[in-house]
A and B are shown apart, each in its own frame.
Chain A
Amino acid sequence: MIFDLSLIADSIPKMLAGIGITFQLMALSAFLGLILAVILLLMRISGKWYLSWPAQVHIYVFRGTPILVQIFIIYYGFPQFEFIRESIFWPILREPFGCAVVALSLNTGAYVSEILRGGVLGVDRGVLEAGSALGLSARHKFIYLTTPIAARLALPAYSNDFISLMKATSLASTITLMDMTGIARTIVAQTFAPYEIFISLAIIYMVLTWGIQKTFGRIEKYLSRYVKP
């Protein structure tokens, strides 16, 4: 087959015009998802069933269904309900961008809370006992001992989820958002050149992944400064 290089050269800048939306989806969902993850984590380890149980249901539902389906339910399904259309969330849920952020945040929040829980469970019990013996309260132990240690333990798995989230933003193109994938699909529809366009698109995502990996590598190095040299 013939690979049309000039088409690639033309289309890459066009797709890059959508990188802003990709970044916004990624950054907003990662931020909101992390907040949600911490809340879900605290609910799960609270030891109170009426907090732990809803958190587990959320985690089960959002890990148990495809993100694409979640996006469709939120975008196509929610507007059917009058009470949603009349709620304060409607201005967000009316827009495809808002729907995508909500779906991605809820989804990544479920995964990340489990990642964080793994980190929390990995904290050496002896360290926490030493904290108790010194008279630290449960809250102080959580803030000053568990959180920094668990963050380091959870980071490699978290970076993995972050990369998944970045790639999952491409699903937003299915609900009319013109992110990089959305633009690529439009170009393909006009040029009938799926190979060139989608391979170029894949390369852009790979470069982004490389950047994320590097960034997390740095953070990991910093957080691991106290681990065996």
Chain B
Amino acid sequence: MTNSASETLIEMQNVDKFFGTFQALKNINLEVKRGEKIVVCGPSGSGKSTMIRCINRLEKHDQGHIIIAGKELTDDVKDIDAVRREVGMVFQSFNLFPHMTIVKNLMLAQRLVRKINKVEARETAMHFLERVKIAEQAEKYPVQLSGGQQQRVAIARALCMKPEIILFDEPTSALDPEMINEVLEVMTDLAKEGMTMICVTHEMGFARSVADRVIFMDAGEIVEEAEPEEFFKNPRNERTKKFLSQILTH
């Protein structure tokens, strides 16, 4: 794999997704290059989460093509596993393994998926726990940590797999306000280091300072796609304008 900056890591072509008769995604076309940071926003039910969940096959798309780091997602389990190894994900509700200590949370997939030995897996785990400034909590259980701490652990857990891409599905929506910044700081650091990121979030400050592009979705479609400056100053679509006026006036 080359490291050229223009290399396309994520490609979605004409992707449709149905839940029963409800069309959750309509003709999604998206291209993300290595190192790009994309922020996805839009009203609830607009398909933002569904879109990024299709990227690591937590949802199966019905039409179109999704190609991740050169591998197309099909029903082939091998390809799905290969893609999941390259794509990390951080969830709204953290989804840590409740029955394992923090450090074991970070070691499990390294051991089972990457086949890394215990000592090395623990070293990697501690390295990333230090990076999210939470190493002293390594032997605790998730329930003993605050929401913000749990989310930082979840980010560290994704990083342990050394992914090419990290997907964030509303990572701060379940947090108390005073904990949002500690998570956004970690995300901002990651962005600065050149991680390829797609973040579904309504943190517009984060979008402004970090995103290369902002995508606005509504009713399963990508309605608008622009650089943050342009997106916030001159939204072209009526739906975008309405949405921005609703979330920015408070």
Identify the A interface with B (CB < 8 A): 124, 126-127, 129-137, 140, 144-145, 148-149, 152, 225-229
B143 in contact with A135 (CB, 8 Å): no
* CA–CA, A126 and B169, complex, Å: 12
Name 28 interchain pairs, CB-CB below 8 A, sorted by A.
A124-B98, A127-B96, A127-B98, A130-B89, A130-B96, A130-B97, A130-B154, A130-B157, A132-B57, A132-B58, A133-B56, A133-B88, A133-B158, A134-B84, A134-B88, A134-B109, A134-B157, A135-B85, A136-B108, A136-B109, A136-B112, A144-B97, A144-B108, A149-B99, A226-B100, A226-B141, A226-B142, A229-B143
Q: Cβ of A137: which chain B residues have Cβ within 8 Å of it?
A: 81, 112
Does B91 belong to the interface (CB within 8 Å)?
Answer: yes
B143 in contact with A227 (CB, 8 Å): yes
Partner of A132, one of B84, B96, B99, B154: B84
Question: What's the minimum C-beta distance from B68 to chain A, rounded to whole angstroms?
Answer: 13
Chain B: residues with Cβ within 8 Å of the partner, total of 29
Partner of A225, one of B109, B113, B141, B158: B141
Q: Cβ of B91: which chain A residues have Cβ within 8 Å of it?
A: 126, 129-130, 133
* CA–CA, A135 and B85, complex, Å: 6
* CA–CA, A140 and B56, complex, Å: 18
Q: At the interface, is chain A mostly helix, strand, loop or mixed?
A: helix
Does B6 belong to the interface (CB within 8 Å)?
Answer: no
Q: Cβ of B113: which chain A residues have Cβ within 8 Å of it?
A: 134-136
Tell which of B95, B98, B99, B108 has the most Cβ of chain A within 10 Å.
B99
Does B28 belong to the interface (CB within 8 Å)?
Answer: no
Question: What's the minimum C-beta distance from B105 to chain A, rounded to whole angstroms?
Answer: 9
Does B93 belong to the interface (CB within 8 Å)?
Answer: yes
* CA–CA, A126 and B113, complex, Å: 19
Which 6 residue pairs are nearest across A and B when measured between Cβ atoms? Answer: A134-B109, A130-B95, A133-B89, A226-B141, A126-B95, A135-B84
Task: Name the residue of chain B whose CB is nearest to the CB of A125.
Answer: B95
B92-118 Cβ-contact flags toward A at 8 Å (1 or 0)? 010111111000000011001100000
Task: Name the residue of chain B whose CB is nearest to the CB of A143.
Answer: B112
Q: Cβ of B81: which chain A residues have Cβ within 8 Å of it?
A: 135, 137
* CA–CA, A145 and B96, complex, Å: 11
Q: Cβ of A149: which chain B residues have Cβ within 8 Å of it?
A: 98-99
* CA–CA, A217 and B99, complex, Å: 18
Does B144 belong to the interface (CB within 8 Å)?
Answer: yes
B143-170 Cβ-contact flags toward A at 8 Å (1 or 0)? 1100000000010011001000000000
Q: Cβ of A225: which chain B residues have Cβ within 8 Å of it?
A: 141
* CA–CA, A30 and B93, complex, Å: 38
Seed contacts A126-B95, A134-B113, A135-B84; 17 additional CB < 8 Å A-B pairs = A126-B91, A126-B93, A129-B95, A130-B96, A130-B157, A132-B58, A133-B58, A133-B91, A134-B84, A134-B158, A136-B109, A136-B112, A137-B112, A144-B112, A225-B141, A227-B98, A228-B143
Q: Cβ of B144: which chain A residues have Cβ within 8 Å of it?
A: 229
* CA–CA, A127 and B143, complex, Å: 14
B112 in contact with A226 (CB, 8 Å): no
A134-B95 contact, Cβ under 8 Å, with A226-B143, A227-B143: no
* CA–CA, A228 and B141, complex, Å: 9
* CA–CA, A136 and B81, complex, Å: 8
* CA–CA, A229 and B98, complex, Å: 13
A135 in contact with B109 (CB, 8 Å): yes
Question: What's the minimum C-beta distance from B106 to chain A, rounded to whole angstroms?
Answer: 10
* CA–CA, A135 and B115, complex, Å: 12
Q: Cβ of A129: which chain B residues have Cβ within 8 Å of it?
A: 58, 91, 95
Partner of A226, one of B58, B84, B98, B161: B98
